[in-house]
Structure 1
């Protein structure tokens, strides 16, 4: 089994600025800093610029379509659920690791013949009007990370980005290529089928979908969405990414490995539809609701319902076939990460190794810093279903890896959080292997005192939960509003406690868009605005204040 990536980062993260924090349990940190005053953020933290400590994009309350603006920042909250804060810890504190967490970018080919936009017939929130701009949005997030001067709480240099899955949206080879280009740098054109000729739902004439270049009174235009002549051409035009300036690692999500994030897609009608010429755009509302209910329950992991729906003869649009839309296998996913053309800032393979490729595994360990190990798990069930689980072989490997690194602090990464791991569908490649739930994984992680955090995504919601001896940190997505990523800093307080600082960041694009600006930055701003106005947007996604900018204390193992 793979144990660690030889191309990982082995350098001690150093203290760039001392931060003094005070406050009782559950209180707001008001940090001080002994360096230059012009380096202070509004909340007194040394590198707060560019983070939600300073400002958070807001959508004014009220009905209809609203433009965005800068709003007040979110304070840092001290959480003492596991260990209490001790006076003077900021004066003693030294950083151990500082990195960035990306999750749920959902890079999307909006012209793909087998997209599930037709589910909007059953629910307005089953389709996103911002999906055509996912590449521009991801690039703007890359720009934000490149512009950060250091960890917001400690000033320590950021040493890597971890992308915990749903990096792509529909298990399409072209989406994987766009994701790797956005992360590593280069130019890509988010356009498939006939070049320069849009063939998706946004010029279909169906009132279900926003038609930005039409006077059609569609569902979104009636809610105030604007008319934007030239939008579709701009959204499918070339996008250049500078690429991340620091190394990055990759984790598999259910949308990476499964069609629609739910169905095994490498065979049968689903695979054939992906590269075909027939695009189903709408179905009867009852059919859509039945399919969504099945997805929620996980009762049809093989996708028999989708296959039946595709064969029912509902009216469909003819589109230009494109072999680049083919579903990628997990071997192809690994090979793409290991391709020398996709090294970017490194490491080679972005965590995955040739051992993963030979053994068919998608989990690995990597050195974060002196005394800190990172572990990336594969929580996607290859048999299908959007909920997660891990196989028995992986659970055994995890136990052995944590034991072998018992003298190092461990950061565990996965796509799914514990509360979304109840999928018992057998792995087709290992049908006799037991699948393990989030509750079982919590018990295993809790039995190893060196585990300090389990970091994940999938739920598109900020949520931080104490797990007796470690913290589970779930970060919101970067496709649904409020479109966030998270900086995480691990520090030793030299008083028997550790602190994990979590700080949310938005993309570099201004919140206020200009509807005539179709530059890369203009499209990224529009991406934010459309997401904030999407019908059915979930107000719970930002989480509570205690799920956002925090200092999480725990006992030093």
Structure 2
């Protein structure tokens, strides 16, 4: 059957189960609940291939190191907290938009002197055994998008990909070049310093780190991580990134804006970035103090780091590299305008010469006909991982929403009718509503007020045409309904896990009009194009991309189960009342 015929075949739960027998080769009475749910999911979709509706990585084995295999897909979960799910909507549905979200790629220069790998036991993001493969892993995710090409429920081709921040790990110019090349395509050498060799903690000989090419019985091998000859040589080997075949846009994140995503960049460590002295270890007491300072006292963190560099830590000499110089927000926007990175467009990927001149890394764009995209800058250059909005940006956002809304509510709850027919709005940011509590003054705009997540939610609920807020930062899959009490003022917040920590997800999002007074937002998770099974002797590009995923699952300091989210945060149909015009 065609995709449309398949949807018409399913006219209710009983019909779906009957359809499942035809599609999956089993009878309803003998099928498990999961099999029935997967069969209904497949019957409602146009196409599930290449998504987690079809199959998903699944750990297996009894030892400390788990291998990954292709397991059953995850069924669609219908969430009707904000609007009812009327029968027959599959037959009436019209697709309005189909796009993909990448988030938290964290393309990492693992040999950089400004890294804190020795803090991993206190902060799991300080070092990951898989991080030498971030660039290849991201390129494999691009391959998956190029293969899937369309939304599984509307069948609409993807109009764009949005990367919602932390595109780089330590806001280095080299990492930014890797990101832009992964997205647009080109030759990449994922190495820094001496391009003929790797100079980082994973060949340090320290038992504190996983030394994959060495027979040293380090702390990671004690937890089951394997010995992989040729791993680092493969990791730094040049390769050709295919680049996306659809337009793409960028939202900025805290790791694109500050030192290790936490410390304010006031230019004090520029010489350390590009120099030859790399701290690879320190005593436990100092590590504990520094880990706490990175999270709570940036000034003290800089003091402690300076002490380590003057004799308090284990120092390794690495090859200096000017390409490690940190970029400014202006340079971040300017790099996107380089014609070498235009790829499938648009020129600037959301940023313009006006963006460069103003330093305002927020903008609007046409997501599709009738749907407006808004990208925000929720970073705070005062440091710390969490974010907020400046008053100027919040005022700008309100003016944009008014300009594209046929009706809205004022701050007192009174309905106001505008001059526009209204467009649906999808908002993008790096931070979530619950991680926008960093209200410290921006040191570059010290007299401007800062505004948190609750204030932003309240603003968005004044505009009925806001249907979704898509974000990252938490490295966790979580979907939240906002506005249960007043359906017209409700929207969905869609938070997706990272592509550096397991589960390595990106998300397809489709907006559809059910033609019954409701909208459906379909959210479908995808994994990279890498094989599920790994081979420790395979250091080809696909083999390394497969290892990237499996090593992330086995990171002894990570919490993959917590980041996975629940079934209601994975593949979903989110119902919403269609805003009146």
C-alpha distance after superposition, 1:508-553 (max 9, x if no partner): 0111011222111111011111111111221111100000000000
Residues 205, 216 of structure 1: 8 Å contact kept: yes
Q: How far apart are 1:288 and its partner, in Å?
A: 2.1
The answer as to 2:479 corresponding to 1:480 is no
Alignment correspondent of 1:7: none
Alignment correspondent of 1:454: 469
C-alpha distance after superposition, 1:382-417 (max 9, x if no partner): 121100111000000000001101100000000000
Alignment correspondent of 1:421: 436
Alignment correspondent of 2:162: 162
The answer as to 2:423 corresponding to 1:408 is yes
Alignment correspondent of 2:47: 47
Once the two structures are superposed, the pairs formed by residues 164-179 of structure 1 within 5 Å of their partners are 164-179=164-179
User: Secondary structure at the residue paired with 2:511?
Assistant: strand
Assess, with a 3 A threshold, how the Cα gap between structure 1 residues 358 and 453 changes in structure 2: closer, same or farther.
Answer: same
Alignment correspondent of 1:515: 536
Q: Once superposed, which parts of structure 1, at least 4 consecutive aligned residues long, lie more than 6 Å away?
A: 15-18, 21-24, 29-33
Alignment correspondent of 2:357: 358
What are structure 1's unaligned runs of at least 5 residues? 1-14
Q: How far apart are 1:124 and its partner, in Å?
A: 6.2
Q: How far apart are 1:303 and its partner, in Å?
A: 4.8
Assess, with a 3 A threshold, how the Cα gap between structure 1 residues 453 and 58 changes in structure 2: closer, same or farther.
Answer: same
User: Secondary structure at the residue paired with 1:68?
Assistant: strand
Q: How far apart are 1:42 and its partner, in Å?
A: 7.3
Picking from 563, 573, 580, the partner of 1:541 is 563
Alignment correspondent of 2:282: 283
Once the two structures are superposed, the pairs formed by residues 185-224 of structure 1 within 5 Å of their partners are 185-224=185-224
Give the number of the structure whose residues are more often helix, by fraction: 2
Q: How far apart are 1:67 and its partner, in Å?
A: 1.5
Superposition TM-score, scaled by structure 1 size = 0.92
Tell me the distance in 2 between the aligned counterparts of 1:315 and 1:41: 58
Assess, with a 3 A threshold, how the Cα gap between structure 1 residues 231 and 390 changes in structure 2: closer, same or farther.
Answer: same
User: Secondary structure at the residue paired with 1:351?
Assistant: coil
Tell me the distance in 2 between the aligned counterparts of 1:223 and 1:355: 51
Residues 264, 302 of structure 1: 8 Å contact kept: no
User: Secondary structure at the residue paired with 2:120?
Assistant: helix
Q: CA RMSD in A?
A: 2.2
Tell me the distance in 2 between the aligned counterparts of 1:402 and 1:61: 52
What are structure 2's unaligned runs of at least 5 residues? 25-38, 406-421, 484-489
Tell me the distance in 2 between the aligned counterparts of 1:483 and 1:61: 20
C-alpha distance after superposition, 1:355-407 (max 9, x if no partner): 11111100000011121100000001112110011100000000000110110
Tell me the distance in 1 between the aligned counterparts of 2:495 and 2:294: 22
Assess, with a 3 A threshold, how the Cα gap between structure 1 residues 251 and 391 changes in structure 2: closer, same or farther.
Answer: same
Q: How far apart are 1:226 and its partner, in Å?
A: 1.3
Residues 16, 157 of structure 1: 8 Å contact kept: no
Residues 30, 43 of structure 1: 8 Å contact kept: no
Tell me the distance in 2 between the aligned counterparts of 1:101 and 1:484: 9
Tell me the distance in 2 between the aligned counterparts of 1:31 and 1:418: 42
Assess, with a 3 A threshold, how the Cα gap between structure 1 residues 186 and 244 changes in structure 2: closer, same or farther.
Answer: same
Assess, with a 3 A threshold, how the Cα gap between structure 1 residues 439 and 149 changes in structure 2: closer, same or farther.
Answer: same
Alignment correspondent of 1:496: 517
Alignment correspondent of 1:82: 82
Tell me the distance in 2 between the aligned counterparts of 1:17 and 1:310: 67
C-alpha distance after superposition, 1:212-259 (max 9, x if no partner): 111111011111211111111110010211110000000001111111
Tell me the distance in 1 between the aligned counterparts of 2:578 and 2:82: 11
Once the two structures are superposed, the pairs formed by residues 381-396 of structure 1 within 5 Å of their partners are 381-396=380-395
Q: How far apart are 1:137 and its partner, in Å?
A: 0.3
Alignment correspondent of 1:113: 113
Assess, with a 3 A threshold, how the Cα gap between structure 1 residues 199 and 393 changes in structure 2: closer, same or farther.
Answer: same
Tell me the distance in 2 between the aligned counterparts of 1:266 and 1:326: 13
The answer as to 2:345 corresponding to 1:335 is no
Superposition TM-score, scaled by structure 2 size = 0.88
Alignment correspondent of 1:138: 138
Residues 17, 155 of structure 1: 8 Å contact kept: no
Q: Tell me how many residue pairs correspond in the alignment.
A: 534
Assess, with a 3 A threshold, how the Cα gap between structure 1 residues 479 and 123 changes in structure 2: closer, same or farther.
Answer: closer
Residues 293, 300 of structure 2: 8 Å contact kept: no
Q: How far apart are 1:16 and its partner, in Å?
A: 7.8
Tell me the distance in 1 between the aligned counterparts of 2:252 and 2:460: 20
Residues 166, 458 of structure 1: 8 Å contact kept: yes
Residues 42, 54 of structure 1: 8 Å contact kept: no
Once the two structures are superposed, the pairs formed by residues 29-48 of structure 1 within 5 Å of their partners are 43-44=42-43, 45-48=45-48
Assess, with a 3 A threshold, how the Cα gap between structure 1 residues 41 and 183 changes in structure 2: closer, same or farther.
Answer: farther
Larger mean Cα displacement after TM superposition, 305-314 or 47-56: 305-314
Residues 121, 288 of structure 1: 8 Å contact kept: no
User: Secondary structure at the residue paired with 1:540?
Assistant: helix
Tell me the distance in 1 between the aligned counterparts of 2:148 and 2:380: 35
Alignment correspondent of 1:524: 545
Assess, with a 3 A threshold, how the Cα gap between structure 1 residues 183 and 31 changes in structure 2: closer, same or farther.
Answer: farther
